[in-house]
Structure 1
Amino acid sequence: MAKKSAHVEKPKPYTGSTFKVSIKRQASPDAPAHTEEFTLPYRSGLNITSVLVDIAANPINATGATTTAIAYDSNCLEEICGSCAMLINGKARMACSALVDALLHENGKGEITLAPLSKFPVVRDLAVDRSVLFENLKAVKAWVPIDGTYDLGAGPKQFPQIQEERYPLSNCISCTICMEVCPQFNDSTNFVGAATIAQARLFNLDPSGAVLKEDRLRALAGDGGVQECGYAQNCVQACPKQLPLTEAISDMGRDVAIQQVKDFFTR
C-alpha cells in the first residue's frame, strides 16, 4: 500500500491591509548598524525580493522620511544562483523563495525582520562578502582539471550508481547558508564549511576530477579541514537544496584518514 504523505498546513491568508518590514542597515563596512522600518501595502504572492523591489520603487520609511533603497544581492529569482541568502525572521533563507504570506503567518505579528548573514563581512545593508567560500573552494581544487583549445573527445564513462551519488552534490548553489548556521564556522576554527567539503567529494567522485583527489584530501586534513566538523547537522537541515552534506562530510572524513595513513607510510 502506498504511504500517505504528511499533511502540510497551508498558511492562513493575512488579513491586514499593510505589513511592516524591519531591516538591519549599514551604509558601509565601517559604518554603525541601525534598524529601519517600512510599512508596505499587503498583496498576496509576494516574496522577500519583491518586497525589496517595492521599497526601491518608493523608498519612504515608516516615519514618512525619504531614505535610500536597500542594498542586497539577487540574480536568478528562482533559488539557483544562491546570491540572495539573508536572515529572514532570524533564520538563514533565500529571499527569492521566502514567501511573505508564510512569513507573516509564522510570527503572527504582521512584521518581517531582515538582516544580513552574520558570519560574513557586511558590504552594505543586506549584501555581504562571501568570497571566503570561493577561497576555500580554490584551496581544495574544486574543479575538473581538464581544458584545451581543441576537442578532447568523450570523457570517461561513469557508473550510474556514481552518477546518482554525485548529482545531489552538484546542486550546490554556493548560498553559504550551511556556513551561516554552522557553529564550527568561525574565526577560531577556520573551518572551511560543509559546502567546500561536499564539492571536494563531488570532484573526487568524477573520473577526470579524481586526478587531484589526493591534493584535495591533503588540503582537508590541514587547518580548518574536515576534522573541525562537530556534526551539529545544522547544515543539512538548513540547506535550501537538501544536499546530503553530513553524508559527504562523513565520507570525506574517512577518505582523509585513509590518505593520512598512506602518506605516513610512503614518506
Structure 2
Amino acid sequence: MADRMITFNVRRFDGERTFNQEYSIPYEKNTLLGCLTKIREEQDASLCFTSACRHAICGSCAVQVNGNAFLACETQLDTLLETFGTDELFLEPLNNLPVVRDLVVNFDGIADKMRKVEAWMCPHKDRKDHLQTPEQFHLIAKPADCVLCGSCISECRELAYDDGTYLPPAMMNKAYRFERDSRDGDHGKRVLAALENNLWKCIHCQQCSTKCPKHIPVAEEISYLRRCALSMGQTKSEGARHAYSFYNDVKRTGLLNETMLALRTEGMVKTAVNRTPFAVRMVAAGKMNPLHMPHPVKGIDDVRRLYEFAARQPRDCDEKEVSRG
C-alpha cells in the first residue's frame, strides 16, 4: 500500500489552449479537495480550482471526475477509487458553464437566471408573522439545502443541447422552493416564469437528482411545477399537449399511439416540416405502422381503475392549507 500511486489526469485551460496534464501522488486517506490541494502545494502551484468552506456549505469546489460531478470537499478518495475501480482519475471542469481556467468555471450568468424566477421572498399583504407549521417547513427544508454548486447544471442532459432558453435545474429548484413557501405572497408567478423558460423541455434523465450532493429531488420538483402549470390552465404549450396525449392514449387503450403523438403535440404543419423524414425512417425500419390504431389491451379495466384511484387522491398543487397557510 505504501507504494500505491494515484494518478490524476487533469484537463487544463490556460485561457487560450486546452490540454491534459498528469499528476501522481502516494495513496492516503483524503478527500478529493485534499488531493488537489496537495498537488498544488507540492507539485504545481499554477493548478487552478476553487474552494472555500471545505464543509460542503459554499458549493464552490464541484468538479467532474470521470465524467460525473462531485463536490470535492466531501468526496472521499476511497469512494472514487471504489466507484470507478481504477487508480487513475480524470478531472474536468463542470459542463455547461464557461471555463475560466483549469477547473474554475464562471457562475456570473447564474444570477441572471435566478432573477427570471424571482428567487427571493415576495411580500405577503395579509401576513402578520412568519410562523410555519412543521408540515409547511418540511415542504421547503430539502430544496433550501441547495448550495448552488453547479453539479445539477453540469449533469443536465437538456442543457447539453439547449439554445440558452432553458432554465438550469438549480433555478427550477429555486422556483419550487419559493412557490411552496407558505410565507411568500406571490404564488403562481414562479410557475409561469418557469413555463416561459421552457419548463417542459426537461427530459426526465434524473441526473440532476442523482448527482446532487444534497440529495435534492430536483426532477420531482420540476414535475410539480408542471402539474401546477396545468392546474393553472396552462394547457396550450407543446409540452402540455404532449403530456395529455400520453395520458389519454394510455387511459383509452393502455398503449401509446405513436402515429398521432407528434400530430397532437406539434400540429399538422410543424409535424410535416420537422418529423416527416424521421417518420419515414421509422416506417422503413418497421418501428411504426401509420395504419395501425391500437386496440385496448387485455386488462385495460385495471388500467382505468388506476386512473380513477389517482383522480381521487389530493393533488399537491391544490394543498393550499399546507403550502400557503
* TM-score clears 0.5: yes
The answer on 1:129 being equivalent to 2:106 is yes
Give the alignment of 1:222-241 within 5 angstroms.
Answer: 222=196, 224-241=197-214
1:39 paired residue among 24, 32, 36? 24
The answer on 1:190 being equivalent to 2:174 is no
1:176 paired residue among 133, 136, 150? 150
Distance (Å, rounded) in 1 between the aligned partners of 2:85 and 2:189 = 51
1:248 is matched with which residue? Answer: 221
Say which SS state the counterpart of residue 76 (structure 1) adopts: coil
Instruction: Tell me: higher relative CO, structure 1 or 2? Use CA pairs within 8 A at least 6 residues apart.
Output: 1
Normalized per residue, the structure richer in helix is 2
Deviations 1:157-189 (A, max 9, x none): 323212111111111111121121111114326
Assess if the C-alpha contact under 8 Å between 2:59 and 2:149 holds in 1: yes
Distance (Å, rounded) in 2 between the aligned partners of 1:107 and 1:194 = 26
Deviations 1:83-108 (A, max 9, x none): 11110122111111221122233334
TM-score, length basis structure 1:
0.79
2:134 paired residue among 134, 143, 160? 160
1:150 is matched with which residue? Answer: none
Summarize the Cα distance change of 1:233–1:107 in structure 2 as closer, same or farther, 3 Å threshold: closer
Assess if the C-alpha contact under 8 Å between 2:94 and 2:150 holds in 1: no
Report the Cα offset of residue 125 of structure 1.
Answer: 0.3
CA RMSD of aligned residues (A): 2.4
1:50 is matched with which residue? Answer: 34
2:93 is matched with which residue? Answer: 116
Structure 2 residues not aligned, in runs of 5+: 236-325
Distance (Å, rounded) in 1 between the aligned partners of 2:157 and 2:188 = 28
Distance (Å, rounded) in 2 between the aligned partners of 1:129 and 1:260 = 38
Report the Cα offset of residue 47 of structure 1.
Answer: 1.0
2:312 is matched with which residue? Answer: none
Distance (Å, rounded) in 2 between the aligned partners of 1:179 and 1:76 = 21
Distance (Å, rounded) in 2 between the aligned partners of 1:72 and 1:125 = 7
TM-score, length basis structure 2:
0.66
Say which SS state the counterpart of residue 10 (structure 2) adopts: strand
**How many residue pairs are counted as aligned between the two chains?**
233
1:207 is matched with which residue? Answer: 182
Larger radius of gyration: 2
Structure 1 residues not aligned, in runs of 5+: 1-13, 60-66, 147-152, 263-267
Summarize the Cα distance change of 1:107–1:16 in structure 2 as closer, same or farther, 3 Å threshold: farther
